[in-house]
Amino acid sequence: MRSLRQGRAIHLLDIENLAGSARPDTAGVEQVMAAYRRLVPIGEMDQFVVAVNHNALVGVGLAFHGVQLLMRSGPDGADSALSEAALADRVDLRFERVVIGSGDGYFTDLARWLADHGVRVTVVARTRSISWRLYVAVSDVAYLDPAAPRAA
């Protein structure tokens, strides 16, 4: 019997962190996601979970289709929503790879927990915007540059 994890990835995106704004607009999110798609391999069976605060819900929601969209406000609201969802949904049992789209140190414990459970963890962060604790907790970091031109 084939493992449920084999060949599957989940992308946990703190879109506010990736966009560099607590209230990213639709166009900004689309630009970030175009850069993300150029940088990160995305498979047919990959899933996306995106978290935002209530002020960014509409703008972010318009930019995404077919994702699980979480909303939580307050300090570290989006971060805690993503971490709690990953733990509650036991992504370690269902995915071979987890991509954390954020440079926030908040995700350090989640990244370590996933690695301890045999999950390959990649962090995607804006250039020069990754917590040192998160950086040393993972073996794979990719830097997002939304302004980079699209390759032909």
pLDDT digits (tens, 9 = 90+) for 26-60: 999 999 999 999 999 999 999 999 999 999 898 89
* Model confidence pLDDT, tens digit, residues 95-116: 999 999 999 999 999 999 999 9
Domain extent at residue 122: 9-144
Share of the chain above pLDDT 90, in %: 80
In a domain, 136, yes or no: yes
**CATH at residue 33:** 3.40.50.1010
* Distance separating alpha carbons of residues 75 and 137, to the nearest angstrom: 22
> CA 128, CA 27: separation in Å to the nearest integer?
23
Q: Give me the pLDDT at residue 5, please.
A: 78
Look at residue 71 and tell me if it is in a domain: yes
Judged against a pLDDT cut of 80, whether residue 144 lies above it is answered with yes
Query: Is residue 2 situated within a structural domain?
Result: no
pTM (2 d.p.): 0.91
pLDDT at position 139 over 70: yes
Nearest to 81 by CA among 115, 58, 112, 104: 104
- Within a domain: residue 101? yes
Sequence-separated (6 or more) residues with CB below 8 Å from residue 90: none
- Whether residue 131 is contained in a domain is answered as yes
Q: Report yes or no on 13 lying in a domain.
A: yes
Q: Is 76 exposed, middle or buried (0-12, 13-18, 19+ CB in 10 A)?
A: middle
Name the token pair of 70: 């979480």
Indicate whether 36 belongs to any domain.
yes
> Residue 146 pLDDT > 80, yes or no?
no
- What does the block give as tokens for 48? 């996306």
Confidence of residue 151 (pLDDT cuts 50, 70, 90): very low
Mean pLDDT to the nearest integer, 59-77: 91
Are 84 and 100 spatial neighbours (Cβ–Cβ below 8 Å)?
no
Pair 14, 101: CB distance under 8 Å: yes
Say if 124 falls within a structural domain.
yes
List CB contacts of 9: < 8 A, sequence separation 6 or more: 42, 43, 45, 46, 47, 95, 96, 97, 98, 99
Q: How many domains does the structure of the chain reveal?
A: 1
